[in-house]
Amino acid sequence: MEIGLTHYLIVSAILFAMGIFAIITRKNAILVLMGLELILNAANLNFIAFARYGGLNVNGEIAALFVIIIAAAESAVALSIILNIYQNYHHVNVDEVETLKD
């Protein structure tokens, strides 16, 4: 069976669904961050897959590169936020970090 666009998209969708699932259900902020990474990677995969197969005429590779760089920066920032949260709360349970509400 030839590996086609559909397969990539299915993998990407699975990755995305797993990411969403992780973001929504996990209580640990690190795991949520990991879920976020999964989603980003799902997006990257889509970009690359479309760049390779699709006639969309986009330079998906460039976008993927950007995403990877931004994801690295983002995870650095996010991790430092999480560290700060940990320092304030002595846990990283996102359920209990509700200060955003106010």
Q: Which residues bind other proteins (CB under 8 A)?
A: 20, 23-26, 32, 94-95, 97-102
CB of 81 to other proteins, least distance (A): 11
CA distance linking residue 100 with residue 31, whole number of Å:
19
Q: Which is nearer to other proteins, 22 or 64 (CB)?
A: 22
Minimal distance, residue 94 CB to other proteins, in Å? 6
Amino acid of residue 84? N
**Minimum CB distance to other proteins smaller for 2 or for 102:** 102
Q: How far is the CB of 1 from other proteins (least distance, A)?
A: 30
Quick one: 65 or 75, whose CB is closer to other proteins?
75
Q: ∠ at Cα 77 (12, 99), nearest 5°? A: 100
d(CA 60, CA 47): 5
Which pair of structure tokens corresponds to residue 95? 């359920």
Ramachandran sector of residue 28 (left: φ over 0; alpha: ψ -120 to 50; beta: rest): beta
Alpha-carbon distance of 11 to 46, in angstroms, equals 9
Our CB check for other proteins shows the closer of 19 and 60 to be 19
Min CB(101)–other proteins separation in Å: 3
